[in-house]
Amino acid sequence: MAINAQTLNETEFFYGHKACAGCGGSLAVRIALKVLGENTFAVLPAGCMSAVGFNFPQLCFSNNAIISTFAGTASMLTGIEAGLRAQGVTDFHAVGFAGDGGTADIGLQALSGAIDRNDDILYICYDNEAYMNTGIQKSSLTPFGARTTTTPAGKNIRGNLRPKKNLFEIVAAHGIPYAATASVGYLNDFMRKIEKAKQIKGTKYIHILAPCPTGWGIQTDETIDVAKEVVDCGLWYLAEYENGSFILNHDPKEFTSIEKYLRKQSRFKHLTDKDIQTIQNSRDAKWEYIHRNFK
């Protein structure tokens, strides 16, 4: 039976934490743990989710959970998985929840090592497109044009000048057993992918876009709408990589307005029409690539 809002485990594993209202990342963690269940060992590096969930004596995970070093999410997962297996424990899931900076920047080496070894772990990147915990600094997953506290939008430079790193395909290029993209705007799709990853041996990677109202400059009740819209306007996509092939899960017949998506977020307020055209062109090129290479 497919997991949906009606069949989802009612037990809460991540509660009493101090995440901001409307936090997409905490929603991704909460939902993923409900799908994975109580026999889950969660590793969270330095970042938003560890900062809001592990303040002694207020510890917010009812399953096993541990903070890793910023760069060490994947390698600590490896040790947990190996340590449990060495003791004859088999009925468990080892899952990591790291942000975009913790995954695409400082944690990429350890992640690549774990995929290379094909360790039996699930790595979930909750991507809010900047270092939010330290106050909205640019990461390599910050999209083109976004204003962050280290890519100010001024007269000379208008926000981040580099495109978002293509981490999903970088991960897939390892020949990983399973990788997927997701969005907190499409939770059924995310839950299905976690459920699928649960059944697969070896390394699994799920990259979920998770808006941050504080960093993106949106209202706290807009998180889900914006997370849907980023998929609907084609700036993010829902896909899987399995058995050496890319599969597109959701192919919008017609994209919604990129301009509307961007203009409602204060991080993009400064963009010119030309900037928006640049973003649209890169979206179109990406979708041309997707239609050519994804099933």
Partner 1 sequence: MAKRFLSGNEAFAYGVRLARPQVISAYPITPQTIVVEKLSEFVEDGSLKAEFIHVESEHSALSCAMGAASVGARAFTATSSQGLLYMAECLPYAAGGRFPIVMMNANRSTALPWNIYGDQRDSVSQLDSGWIQAYAENAQEALDIALMSFYIAEHRKVSTPFMANLDGFVLTHTYEVADVPSQEQADEFLPPLQTENKMSLAAPKNLAFSAGPDSNTIFKYKEHLGILNAKSIIQEAEIRFEQIFGRHYTGLTESYQTEDADYILITLGSIAGLVREVVDQMRAGGKKVGLLRLRYLRPFPNEEIAAAVKNAKALAVLEKDISFGSEGTVYTNVNSALQKAALSIPNSNYIGGLGGKNISAEEIESIFYELTKQRSTVQFLGIGGEGSGN
Binding site residues, partner 1, CB under 8 A? 38-39, 41, 43, 50-51, 53-57, 59-69, 71-72, 74-87, 89, 91-92, 109-110, 112-113, 116-117
Per the CB < 8 A criterion, the answer to whether 201 and 248 are in contact is no
The residue (of 17 and 193) whose beta carbon lies closer to partner 1 is 17
Written as six digits, the tokens of 288 are 């041309």
Residue 3 CB: number of other CB atoms within 10 A? 18
The residue (of 72 and 213) whose beta carbon lies closer to partner 1 is 72
Contacts of 113 (CB under 8 A, 6+ apart): 74, 75, 78
Nearest-approach distance from CB 205 to partner 1, in angstroms: 16
How much of the chain is in helix, strand and coil states, percent to nearest 5? 40, 20, 45
Nearest-approach distance from CB 35 to partner 1, in angstroms: 17
The residue whose two tokens read 């070894």 is 117
The residue (of 83 and 252) whose beta carbon lies closer to partner 1 is 83
The residue (of 36 and 235) whose beta carbon lies closer to partner 1 is 36
| Cα distance between residue 234 and residue 165, in whole Å | 16
| Cα distance between residue 73 and residue 45, in whole Å | 6
Cα of 100 vs its chain's centroid, Å: 7
167: closest CA among 195, 136, 126, 202? Answer: 126
The residue (of 39 and 277) whose beta carbon lies closer to partner 1 is 39
Nearest-approach distance from CB 26 to partner 1, in angstroms: 15
The residue whose two tokens read 């010119």 is 272
| Cα distance between residue 8 and residue 20, in whole Å | 24
The residue (of 104 and 276) whose beta carbon lies closer to partner 1 is 104
Residue 247 CB: number of other CB atoms within 10 A? 13
The residue (of 3 and 67) whose beta carbon lies closer to partner 1 is 67
Helices and strands in the chain, H and E counts: 11, 10
Nearest-approach distance from CB 226 to partner 1, in angstroms: 30
Nearest-approach distance from CB 93 to partner 1, in angstroms: 11
Nearest-approach distance from CB 86 to partner 1, in angstroms: 4
Cα of 225 vs its chain's centroid, Å: 17
The residue (of 118 and 256) whose beta carbon lies closer to partner 1 is 118
Nearest-approach distance from CB 39 to partner 1, in angstroms: 6
Cα of 254 vs its chain's centroid, Å: 25
Nearest-approach distance from CB 134 to partner 1, in angstroms: 15
How buried is 254 (Cβ within 10 angstroms: 0-12 exposed, 13-18 middle, 19+ buried)?
Answer: exposed
